[in-house]
Amino acid sequence: MTAARRPSPTAWALGLSGLIPFVAGAAGMLWPAALPWPVPGGAAAALGAYGAVIVSFLGGIHWGLAMAGAGGPSTLRLAWGVVPSLIAWPALLLPPAWGLAVLAAALVLCFMVDRRSYPALGLAGWLPLRGLLTAVAALSCMAGAALA
């Protein structure tokens, strides 16, 4: 299996559309009456849940890379792949302000790991997209934390 060296236009479109729940969650916390939230805890709960899903997804990418045999021995890649989930799950159990701050930090941490590991795997071309997605997602979580 060969990984795409750069994200396709489809990857860009899907990645950017994946920011909608982050921005909507933060906006819903700023203007709670503007967006009705059908979940207990409203926008903060929705933002936290989506953030935790995405943080877990970022770890899962490393499992996929390990399964594809990218970069040789995969023990560290597999181990790192579960760390984001182990950060995201307890973040959901914290009060919203703290949980969203932890998720913002986890998003940045995931990007830092990817920024270090992707070039060695020939995936440096994905970093501009990853950086943009991380910036908007982390800022949305931090805004949510400030508003909680």
Angstrom distance (rounded) from CA 33 to CA 94: 24
139 contacts: CB under 8 Å, gap ≥ 6: 26, 104
Q: Range with the lowest mean pLDDT among 27-41, 43-57, 124-138?
A: 27-41
Nearest to 130 by CA among 118, 142, 143: 118
Q: Range with the lowest mean pLDDT among 25-34, 49-58, 94-103?
A: 25-34
Residue length of the chain = 148
31 contacts: CB under 8 Å, gap ≥ 6: none
Percent of the chain with pLDDT over 70: 91
Residue-level pLDDT at 71: 75
Q: Is the pLDDT of residue 122 over 80?
A: yes
Instruction: Give tens-digit pLDDT for 84-93.
Output: 999 999 999 9
